[in-house]
Amino acid sequence: MPEVELPEKLINVVNGIEYSYTLNKDKILISKPVYNQESVISILSKNEISEIDEIRSIGAQHLITHIDIVGRFMHDPKAYSPLEYKLVFTNDLDGSDNIFENFIVLTFEEEQNIAALMAHCKCKEEDIKVASGGGLFFYRIEYPDYPEAEAMGHKICKDNPGWIVEYSFSKIITTTVNAEIPNSSSTIPELSNQAMFDAIKLKLPTVDLNGRKKIRIALFDTGTDNGHPYLCNNVLAKGVDLVDGDTYPDPGPFFVDGHGTKCAGLIAGNYKDSVLGAGVYCDIVSYRMFYAVKDGQSTNKVIDVFTIIEAFIKAGFEDTFDVINCSWGYGSNVYKCIEMLLKAVWKSGNNGKGVAVIFAAGNNGAKVDFPANSRYCITVSATNTDGKPIVRSTDNAWGSNYGNQVDIGAPVNILRTTAVRYARSSSNIEYESKKFGKTSAAAAIVSGCVGLILTLNPDLTPCEIKEVLKSNATRFIPQPKNNYGTGMINMQQTLSRI
């Protein structure tokens, strides 16, 4: 991948406000906060920076106030220098304390001797964290700062040809917030996604679960409001919190965009006779990977490679899920450690049956990024209810990503789903999100549909599920220039073939 040439200063006008960007050694400082990714893309494009490998903010409504340039090591020992670079946009709220954890991840197919690793990597035992699953062994080795991690990464690659050595980082931002838990007596609205169900031709069947195995869906996201009336029937109260380390994956009131809660609603949301997602007969377990909130002290942790590894090992080999929903991406760089683990989870997770992993294609109107470009997942694009993919244009600020790895599309332009009920004041409680969409929503819709498919035929493997979805999709007419999958999901056709 070619390196990105950055000018010393970037200037652009967005909505009449001039934003200036000054390049320092390791980041671009932004003079004023930018409120959305589209503005950032516009700024970079107008300054002739076209190699935008990753644009990531933790919640689209959060302030983006600086850009980190983060390197990673090639797993090919012949190419250990120079570093590849990617642009990563992360939050940096005013008045917060920023903590960076710099580390490398080593991946092996055999267990390693810790003492030998300590000698090779010049580290202490307390600096090493181990995770294993699917016949793979991962070693996270933390260093005090980026230069040391960079230097040791180069040295380890050079001294040990054939080792898979990759750099990652975790950025923790801490700030204090105030919010109130809503009044449970508030009126609960009647919500329905009938327009979406009509578009994908789904008439929800009545299923007698007596004697049937209940399908389990793991939701890798920002946590969920498990007490929401539309979620409490399906989202289990006990989840996995990889940020706080407890079993209650509460998203908290930290400028909450409620991404995980919105996805959960589209997977299986239901209340009385109102249905939002196809997976109503499934159990959802929330894996919180992005935020931590405790006693009003909010910690925003950027997802890192090792967190992803821990989540997939736990969901794939320890807790044995049938489906994993991933409405997020990690950029264009392919992390070998994650790719190897995805393959293991897809093929041999869930006690050897395999796990159907669903990824969102991404919203940059560009080629699909990692991990959604892996062959070991079902990658979902976003369409309108008329069955046409959503394409980025001068009239549309975002568009679904595309590419040969995209499998199928799902409609997102007319959706209703669940919102986190936390509020700044008790008079500002919202049960519903009316603006959620894009490929995050599309992936969640498909995850619910896959849950329904497995409810009716639990013997299907992930490869068989992918094939039956693709072969029975409603084809795009006319066929778009780029590949957004074989078409929009057609559940009437799909269910007739399982």
Q: Set out the domains of the chain in order of their start, with CATH numbers.
A: 9-72+79-93 (no CATH), 98-175 (3.30.70.120), 194-496 (3.40.50.200)
Cα dihedral 299, 303, 309, 315 sign: positive
pLDDT band at residue 228 using 50, 70 and 90 as cut-offs: confident
Cα 451 to Cα 278: distance, rounded to the nearest angstrom: 8
Confidence (pLDDT) at 146 = 73
pLDDT band at residue 219 using 50, 70 and 90 as cut-offs: very high
Residue 176: partners with Cβ closer than 8 Å, 6 or more residues away = 296, 297, 298
Cα dihedral 361, 91, 103, 84 sign: positive
**Is residue 375 packed enough to be buried (19+ CB in 10 Å), middle (13-18) or exposed (0-12)?**
middle
Instruction: Say whether pLDDT at 478 is over 50.
Output: yes
Instruction: Say whether pLDDT at 51 is over 90.
Output: no
Q: What is the residue whose two structure tokens read 């894996």?
A: 287
Instruction: Mark out the alpha helices in 349-437 (DSSP H runs).
Output: none
Instruction: Say whether pLDDT at 494 is over 50.
Output: yes
Confidence (pLDDT) at 42 = 53
> Please, what is the average pLDDT of the chain?
77
Confidence (pLDDT) at 49 = 42
Cα 258 to Cα 340: distance, rounded to the nearest angstrom: 30
Quick one: which H or E segment has residue 288?
strand 283-288
The answer to whether the beta carbons of residues 451 and 282 sit under 8 Å apart is yes
Give the residue with greater pLDDT, 51 vs 478: 478
Confidence (pLDDT) at 16 = 40
Cα 271 to Cα 280: distance, rounded to the nearest angstrom: 10
List 128's β-bridge partners, or say none: 141
pLDDT band at residue 172 using 50, 70 and 90 as cut-offs: low
Instruction: Say whether pLDDT at 464 is over 60.
Output: yes
Share of the chain above pLDDT 70, in %: 69
SS3 129: strand
Min mean pLDDT across 32-41, 242-251, 362-371 is at 32-41
The answer to whether the beta carbons of residues 73 and 154 sit under 8 Å apart is yes
Min mean pLDDT across 146-155, 189-198, 286-295, 410-419 is at 286-295
List 241's β-bridge partners, or say none: 288
Residue 286: phi, psi to the nearest 5? Answer: -85, 125
Residue-wise pLDDT for 94-110, tens only, equals 333 445 678 899 999 99
Cα 92 to Cα 202: distance, rounded to the nearest angstrom: 43
pLDDT band at residue 247 using 50, 70 and 90 as cut-offs: low
pTM for the full predicted model: 0.78
pLDDT (mean) for 68-91:
30
